[in-house]
Amino acid sequence: MLESGRVLVTGGAGFLGSHLCERLIKDGNDVLCVDNYFTGRRTNVESLLRHPRFEIMRHDVTFPLYVEVDQIYNLACPASPIHYQHDPVQTTKTSVHGAINMLGLAKRVRATIFQASTSEVYGDPQIHPQTEEYWGHVNPIGLRSCYDEGKRCAETLFFDYHRQHRLKIKVGRIFNTYGPRMHPNDGRVVSNFIVQALGNRDITIYGDGSQTRSFCYVSDLIEAFVRLMATGPEVTGPINLGNPVEFTMVQLAEAVIRLTGSSSRLVFQPLPSDDPRQRQPDISRARQLLGWEPRVALEDGLKETIAYFRSIL
Pairing of strands 216-217, 246-248: unpaired
Residues whose CB is less than 8 angstroms from the CB of residue 159 and which lie 6 or more positions away in sequence, other chains included: 169, 171, 236
Are residues 36 and 265 in contact, defined by beta-carbon separation less than 8 angstroms?
no
What are residue 248's DSSP bridge partners? 212
- Figure out which of the listed residues 139, 204, 231, 236 binds ligand UDP, where binding follows CB under 6 A: 204
Contact between 151 and ligand UDP per CB under 6 A: no
Task: Give the footprint of ligand UDP on residues 1-40 (CB under 6 A).
Answer: none
Residue closest to 94 by CA, chosen among 30, 11, 28:
11
Measured torsion, CA atoms of residues 179, 184, 187, 191, in degrees rounded to the nearest 10: 40
Catalytic: 37? no
Are residues 209 and 266 in contact, defined by beta-carbon separation less than 8 angstroms?
yes
199 vs 233 by CB, closer to ligand UDP: 199
Report the distance separating Cα 150 and Cα 140, nearest Å.
Answer: 10
CB of 40 to ligand NAD, least distance (A): 2
Contact between 94 and ligand NAD per CB under 6 A: yes
Contact between 251 and ligand UDP per CB under 6 A: no
Contact between 308 and ligand UDP per CB under 6 A: no
Measured torsion, CA atoms of residues 294, 299, 305, 309, in degrees rounded to the nearest 10: 170
Are residues 54 and 45 in contact, defined by beta-carbon separation less than 8 angstroms?
yes
- Figure out which of the listed residues 6, 8, 9, 11 binds ligand NAD, where binding follows CB under 6 A: 11
Stretch that binds ligand NAD, among 6-14, 133-141, 196-204, 282-290 (CB under 6 A): 6-14
Contact between 37 and ligand NAD per CB under 6 A: yes
What are phi and psi for residue 134, nearest 5 degrees?
-70, 130
- Figure out which of the listed residues 61, 157, 171, 205 binds ligand NAD, where binding follows CB under 6 A: 61
Pairing of strands 177-178, 71-74: unpaired
Report the distance separating Cα 39 and Cα 183, nearest Å.
Answer: 8
Report the distance separating Cα 261 and Cα 197, nearest Å.
Answer: 8
Mask for 195-224, x = binds ligand NAD (CB under 6 A):
------------------------------
CB of 123 to ligand UDP, least distance (A): 11
Among residues 147, 161, 178, 217, the one annotated as catalytic is: 147
Task: Give the footprint of ligand NAD on residues 156-175 (CB under 6 A).
Answer: 174
168 vs 213 by CB, closer to ligand NAD: 213
SS3 label, residue 27: coil
CB of 277 to ligand NAD, least distance (A): 17
> CA–CA distance from 285 to each of 91, 187, 201, 219 (Å)?
29, 30, 41, 19
Task: Give the footprint of ligand NAD on residues 103-132 (CB under 6 A).
Answer: 116, 118
267 vs 312 by CB, closer to ligand NAD: 312
27 vs 254 by CB, closer to ligand UDP: 254
Q: Which positions touch ligand UDP (CB under 6 A)?
A: 80-81, 176, 188-189, 192, 204-206, 211, 213, 249, 271-272, 275
Residues labelled as active-site residues? 147
Q: Which positions touch ligand NAD (CB under 6 A)?
A: 10-11, 13-17, 35-40, 60-62, 75-79, 94, 98, 116, 118, 174, 176-177
